[in-house]
Amino acid sequence: MCGIAGFYLREGKASLSAVRTMCDQIRHRGPDDEGYHVEAGCAIGMRRLSIIDLSTGHQPMANEDESVWVVFNGEIYNYQELRRDLLARGHRFVTNSDTETLVHLYEEQGAEGLRRLRGMFAYAIWDSRRRRMFLARDRFGKKPLYYAVLPEGLYFGSELKCLQAAGVPCDIDEEAIRLFFHFTYIPEPWSCFRAVRKLPPGSWMTYDADGTVRQGRYWRFPTPVAQTPADFSEAEVCGQLRDKFDESVRIRMIADVPLGAFLSGGIDSSSVVASMALTSPEPVRTFSIGFEESAFNELEYAAMVARQYHTDHHEIVVRPDAVDLVSRLVRHFDEPFGDSSAIPTFIVSEFAVRHVKVALSGDGGDELFAGYDRFQALEKLRKLDRLPRVFRAFTSWMADCLPYSAYGKNYLHMLSRSTALERYFESNFAPWFLRQELLQKDWMLPADSAYLTRALSEFLLPGNADLLSQALFFETTQNLPGDMLVKVDRMSMANSLEVRCPLLDHELGEVAAGIPHGWKIRDGKGKYILLRALGERLPAPLLNRAKMGFGVPLSLWFRGALRTFLWDHLGSASFTKRGIVSPAFVQQMLREHDSGRRDNSHWLWSLLMLELWFRQLDAQPARQHSAVYD
């Protein structure tokens, strides 16, 4: 696991000091080693967290004649199989690293070779013969890769701060900020800066000496199956699912350093730990986080799994004095990010890295197997299509007449939407009525879903797809890489910890997409087929408990330990003068929350993260773009 960065200039000679400066920004991603290759206008570099082949895994790595070089962030779990095939084809290896496999696979198959990789990755290859830079990212987007194409060349890095250090223009992308207010994160492929984009998951791109850019997709998440086929066999599917799940866990346990697992007490992480324990000859190291507030504490359930599988279990209880890390989080995300579960993710990563260098997690199960409560509510949204358009128009007018203080206004606005997809976005992300009150007019997205369906067309199925298929596809291809995986990557790598996600093995994901909806949701509960396949491995109390999100008692903290910090920032002159939000409405939200009348913690946290990000940006010195040249 590493952090990578570099650039390719169309004219001039690249500077070693510039690429080193870029990589210095991500030292936390790889504190064990560093390496660089500079050749004419190309400079690539890396910071390494040593996990596999500790003694000979130094990067950048090259092919036999040093005409192809690679810097790599991630893990390739089937590299040994690929290595054997490449050796048989005449390639020569000098290390035992998965990184070197990428060089020879590129020589052999170019971009087509990406289809053979099983893992999480973002990497850059410099092809000196073709004078070409090649970038690639894994299928689900577990590893980040930012890039900027400017008149003088291409810049890339694992984090935005790499590109900022190279002097890439930092003009704010206002459209991205508008989207932040809709999703509380900046969706793929946008970034907070107009000049910078994220390479989409499952994609590659090339940049040539003449400035030509080409992009391609080597994988797309399959369309989730809606109808149950006549030959569907529960026993057969459960067996296939169980085998593929165990295989996905097993190949992620390959490491030359101590390895453990996050254990939340939920179905997904508990299933991962159970599978690890059935494979490992030694007790699995497990790490759990809890809170003094009982509504957020899952330690009891995590302990049940730990006892059943005799794990080497470690627990930490977070108290409000731990929230002093709030300001630290902003630097690691580089752009506005409103998911407050970043706090426990950071803390459990910081806790685990005292004992291990790699941790397996249960991320992805809710998206693949319809575990979120919002999936179970979709049928109700679809049934509203039967209401006459005249009635829906009347409810929209009535909602507009009501003051914000009317608690039913959200439901009326949602009810008035003309399609079930619109209602899905309205009910699960930022509701229109709230954004209308909160934002100044210039910062509002259009009211209907036409803009979102156009802007996010890559993450939506064709219009005739059923609503649950649409939601599962969107959550997996956009919400997962844009929110969940960003959080896990930044918070774990901030602590130099590698996190692996067995449920996001692409072969397992393809199996999940092929399981009909009726076998994911049954009797109003999600993950039915997953529990049929793996449930007998888990303690009985876990199987029927209500789902608990991986959150923090933010609502209480905003009335206690974080209250002054929150009010000082959202009531500050700097926040007001930015001209983005309505100061009066922000004050209303603060008072409502403070009194306990309404829980506004989610939106207040997003606003706080936005203001902290702006202040961090304001404090950064302007960099000269010419710094990349010798």
- Nearest C-alpha neighbor of 342 from the set 609, 75, 617: 609
Phi-psi sector, 550: left (phi>0), alpha (psi -120 to 50), beta: beta
* 3-state per-residue secondary structure call for 404-418: CCCCCHHHHHHHHCC
The dihedrals phi and psi of 245, each to the nearest 5 degrees, come to -65, -50
Q: Measure Cα distances from 40 to 133, 168, 328, 629 in Å.
A: 13, 20, 38, 10
**CB-count burial class (<10 Å; 0-12, 13-18, 19+) for 32:** middle
The single-letter code of the amino acid at 147 is Y
Longest dimension (CA), the chain: 74
Q: Measure Cα distances from 461 to 109, 118, 198, 471, 520 in Å.
A: 30, 25, 21, 9, 19
Please, what's the b/e burial string for 467-491 (b: 16 or more CB within 10 A of its CB; e: otherwise)? Answer: bbbbbbbbbbbbbbbbbbbbbbbbb
Contact 131, 154 (CB under 8 A): no
Please, what's the b/e burial string for 53-89 (b: 16 or more CB within 10 A of its CB; e: otherwise)? Answer: beeebbbbbbbeeeebbbbbbbbbbebeebbeebeee
Contact 318, 290 (CB under 8 A): yes
Residue 496, helix vs strand vs coil? coil
CA distance 354 to 523: 42
How many other β-carbons are positioned within 10 Å of the β-carbon of residue 242?
A: 18
CA distance 235 to 599: 45
Residue 42 annotated in active site = no
Q: How many helices (H) and strands (E) does the chain have?
A: 28, 17
CA distance 608 to 614: 10
- Catalytic residue set: 2
